[in-house]
Structure 1
Amino acid sequence: MPRWLLIAATYTIVGIMLILPPVLVVAEALRNGFGTALTTLADPDALSAIRLTVTMTLASVVINTVFGVLAAWLIAKYRFPLRGVLTALIEMPVSVSPVVAGLVWLLLFGTQGWWGQALDRIGVHIAFAPPGILLATLFVTFPFVARTLLPLMEQQGRDDEDAAMLLGASFWQILWQVTLPNVRWALLSGVLLTTARAMGEFGAVSVVSGHIPGLTETMPLHIETLYNGYQSVAAFSMATLLAAMAMATVGLRSFFEARARNAVIHGQDA
């Protein structure tokens, strides 16, 4: 196949699959003018969905970043029993459907779930409430920081950490002054990937949230509610905002991923 034909086919597929959809979304959002689109985003339910999405994203990113760093460090720097099992378990959310995860949380914390009624009696609500949304988001974003850090940490080995330990550095000193500076670009890449995934999660959150407008609807869920209610301009306006947030996050991640790749090639932080 001639090179020009391969290039043309590639750009055509990319244009149809990746460029055309967001262009159409923006066009639909602005169909009645920019002012109308902004007005729909100022609706109380829309603002609630934006706040909930940002809150759940920030919480899940912080929690999974802390866990991901510690898990990647443990797996990359040490050898211990069932190490491969732990790695497989961390990666499990990638292959399990988010809907299944949502159903599991309902089974545990729903009104008719194993612990739901006992928790309700003491005033703790997880299913159909923000804590359930957080659990669902944590599950689907669980592996990304750890999976991003692992290859780089394994490539770097543990010589620097061992040297710091011989010099009397504590666990936290080694983590903050030796390990993290060496993987900072990969860490930022993993954090941004987690952020993008958390903002756009629909399946698990849809199952466990109850779709309560103004209370448990994140931005993806609110888009579905608006579209099913034939409020297409409002739906596409919210979709445009969500897409812009996701694309900005992915753009930053691409930059940090390139820096992380450069660090792996040169065997040191770039």
Structure 2
Amino acid sequence: MPLRSNPTARQQRLGAELRKLREASGLTTEQAAAVLATNRTVITSTEAGRHGISPERVRRLACNYDCADSALVEALMRMAAERTRGWWEDFRGILPPTFLDISELEWFAKRLRMSTMTHIPGPFQTEAFARALFAAAIPALPADEFDARLAHRLQRRRALDRPDAPPYVAIIHEAALRIEVGGRETLREQLHSTLEMADRDNVTVQVIPFSAGAFPGSGQSILYAEGDVPSLDVVQLDRTTVAEFLHVEAQLRKFSLQLDQMQRVALSPEQTRDLIHAIAREL
């Protein structure tokens, strides 16, 4: 298969999982290459996500790597078979790669949990709300990048609009509901839009009230995307202007527990709706 000049996050993850399986089996890249009757450069390029691989070759490698996790093998084969060009690819070369990686993560996840402390979750944001956020950037964004970021932000809702949209749990701190991003009218519109999202069958919105006090994970936004199997889960954290993606089992367990605790201290979905309605009436 041809080399890929711009590997996607999914291709890189597939390659990384194949590398983990190979290293666990004790095989070298030369020995793995012999399994496929190819050279080690193909193996190293595949493990880096720069070279495509067929589902049949994934199964052959997994067999020779003595991988007994059939669910993982089937999930990796599905990743290898993906040929659809995602909508986010229209922004490649225009926006930072992490913007595209987040969109890809949201699109392919089987379930999503998101916690935000000061902003409404990206896929929920109205145009006016997102526009106000990007307008606050320092230094000011160039006009073409501003327009691209806005268009990309609004299209992220497509992951929740499609018929097979994944379950999405949004845990939002009360502060995010009260910060007047774009002014009172923009915030009021955003709150009503958030309530409409909460009415969707696949969406659950819970607010952590000020009265909850301290809780784990309060200092950052967390996106937990569940994969086809638990070992393919991903956590994305916002580190100021840089998005960080985590795959290590201990890290996944830590942030899953943090989100569990956040949901326990948050208001119920019904109480959340009541609070959002009350805040909107105050504006």
Q: Which TM-score applies when normalising by structure 2? A: 0.24
Of Structure 1 and Structure 2, which has the larger fraction of its residues in strand? 2
The one of the two structures with greater contact order (alpha-carbon pairs below 8 A, sep at least 6) is 1
Larger Rg: 1
Q: Which TM-score applies when normalising by structure 1? A: 0.25
Of Structure 1 and Structure 2, which has the larger fraction of its residues in helix? 1
